[in-house]
Every structure is written in C-alpha cells, then in structure tokens.
Amino acid sequence: MHILVVGGGMGGTILANNLARRLSGELEQGSSKITMLSASDKHMYQPGLLYVAVGKMSTSELYRDQKSLLESSIDFHVDPVEKFDLDNNSVTTKSGKKISYDILCIATGSRGNAEGIPGLAENSCQFYTEADAVAMYKKLSKFEGGKVVVATGVPHKCPMSPLEITFFLIDYFKKRGIWDKVDLHYTYPIGRVHSLAPVAEWAAPEFDKEGVTYETLFNMKEVVPGKVISEEDSSAEFDLLVTVPPHKGMQVIEDNELGKGGFIPTDKKKLNMEGRDNVFVLGDTTNLPISKAGSTAHFEAEALGENIAAIVQMGEPVRDYDGKVFCFIEAGDGKATYAMFDYNNPPNPQAPTSGLHWFKTAYNRMYWASARGII
C-alpha cells in the first residue's frame, strides 16, 4: 500500500510518523510505503509566532529541518502538489512528477487572508507569518502610546489567539511603562468576548479590571487609515490595529475545487473526504466546525494513524475521531489555563495558574518531540 501524505505541517508530520511507527514491519518488508510531499524543507512551530510578535521568543527557535523530524523510513520530498486527480488516485507535483497512491492524506493547512478585507493588510499588524510577527514586534517597540484596537476575522487559526494577544499586549505595555498611555479596545465577531462561554465569562471581568474596553458582534468590513469599520455598521478608531485576520485554506485546494474557501468537506468522525473512502483530511484543511489549532491536528493525526494502519493491516478502520481539542490559554501576568473539549463534552476551563504557564513555556520547546510522535 502506498500512503501519500500531502503537507508537512503539524498534522501531516505527526500522522506520517505515527504511521511509520505502526507500519515499521510493512515498511521494512517493502509491502507498504509512506511518501510525504511538502512545500518546504523547514518545519515551523506556528504557535511560536504569537510569542515572537511580543518579543518573547526569537525567530531561530521557530524552525527545525523537516527531515530531522521524520522517521527515516518516510520518503520525503520538497515538491508540493499542484494537481489532485482523485478519480485516478494520483497527484501531480510542482516538478511535474505524477505520483499514484492507495491512500491519500491531505494536510495542507490554512493561511491568513488579510487581503479578504479591504484595507486590512495595509493598515494592521498581524502575526501569522514570520515576517509579519517580526514587523509587528518592530512596530510595537516604536509605539509610544495611543489607541490600540484588536480585531478578529472569521474563520481564524487558533481561537485562543485574540485573547492571548490582548493579554500579551497588556503585559508588554506594562513592562515598557507606557500602559497608562494606551487605550486598548478589543473587538470580537460574536456576542461575547470569546467563543467558549466559560472563557468569555472569565475574560470579560479581566478586561474590566485592566481597563480594556470591548465591543462584541464586530465583524470587520473595511479598514481605512486610522479606522476599522464593521459589517454591523459600527467602527473603531486606532493608532495601532492588531488583527487576527480571516483565514483561508491553501490555494491548491481551491484551484482543484476540493472545497470552498480551501477547506475540504470532511466526515467529522472518520475524517475521510466526503464521498471518498481513500482520501483523508486533517488539521486546518478540514471544514469541520471545530478549532483550527495544533492540538486538533494532533488528535486527528493520532486517530487517523491508528485507522490507516488498521486499514493496511486488517482492511478496516478501528476508531472514530471524538472531536478532542486541548488548547492552552495564555492569560498574561505569567499565568495560563487550558480548555479541553470534544464532540460530547463541553469545556470547563479553570482559573489560570503560573504552573500552567510554565507547562506551556516548556511545551513550546517540547513541540519537536510531539511532532516526532513521541508525546
């Protein structure tokens, strides 16, 4: 069986490694093969960008060689897919190679799409690429006070990031001693300050305590210099606009008409692409109504690893993905908490503690062991 993994981000990497461990015998005998196609020879720890944007992490800590994270039995190529021919079980890569597969796993991810809102890219800072995070830090370090607005687009990667960047900004301005010169205004697309009700109930009083003002049901329509206007006919003036931009799936997914907005219709339990039994989708690439976050990709990859190995060895998958998500929430002031939930159990986050902040700090460095499928 030839398993082809397209995408070398967190989901693709954990899945490929998980499969390589489970199918080590088959790979050694040559009865199975795992190939990974990625757009880059580097692997980025994406959650680190939030820290880079506020000067808490250096850019060199974000990367490792993709090859160093993969089991040696995985055939890895930097040659992104350009064409998917699902009817004939094959893909064509950028270099022109045609590769056939028995099982295809698509984990191409998502990207910030500030261009989707007129004026947003030109008038805001964001932290979803290395260049943007560094530019944001430079802008912050020159900022001497004024109106700061945090605005969030939909959908977006990591639902915790709007809150986290806000708490980090408070910390940052306090450390610089200019907090009294800053008016921080937080906006959010739905009717409370965070999508998780218990998190919103905790965060709103925290905002009140710090003097952060907020407006809910605020979806960016247009940004002009100094002002962001919402679809709900409201607006907020700013000297500095920090945005979590709306996200899109990858262009190649749209170009191949695999899913609207670059997100592929996916079965929420089996994680196969709707209508295809041998095509699986994971991470940000799915259209599932769950968090676009590393932990989602991680748990999906583990469920898929078990299932695909079972398909290879027994001809049938063995378990369902239960919708599990685990998200750390950096709460500023050296504290953090987390939210965990699945399709059946709502989250019940507890008060932030410094212990959880250290756990997250340590986890930021232990990510690589996680990508290798160890933890």
Question: Contact residues for other proteins (CB under 8 A)?
Answer: 56, 116, 154-155, 159, 189-191, 195-197, 217, 219, 231-233, 246, 260-261, 268, 289-291, 323, 325, 327, 334, 339, 341, 343-344, 346-347, 354-355, 357-358, 361-369, 372, 374-375
197 vs 318, beta carbon nearer other proteins: 197
Rounded CA separation 18/23 (Å)? 9
179 vs 343, beta carbon nearer other proteins: 343
Reported as half-sphere exposure (CB side, CA atoms, 13 A), residue 146 has a value of 11
Cβ contact 90:98 at 8 Å: yes
226 vs 346, beta carbon nearer other proteins: 346
Cβ contact 91:80 at 8 Å: no
- Shortest distance (Å) from residue 133 CB to other proteins: 18
Cis peptide before 155 (omega within 30 of 0): yes
- Cα–Cα distances (Å) from 31 to 12, 25, 204, 205, in that order, read 21, 9, 56, 59
- Shortest distance (Å) from residue 146 CB to other proteins: 28
Sheet of 182-187, strands arranged across: 213-215, 182-187, 146-152, 240-244
Cβ contact 155:249 at 8 Å: no
- Shortest distance (Å) from residue 196 CB to other proteins: 5
Partners of 223 in the beta sheet? 228
211 vs 346, beta carbon nearer other proteins: 346
Partners of 38 in the beta sheet? 78
- Shortest distance (Å) from residue 170 CB to other proteins: 17
Rounded CA separation 54/47 (Å)? 13
- Shortest distance (Å) from residue 100 CB to other proteins: 30
State which amino acid sits at residue 118: P
183 vs 333, beta carbon nearer other proteins: 333
- Shortest distance (Å) from residue 232 CB to other proteins: 5
237 vs 322, beta carbon nearer other proteins: 322
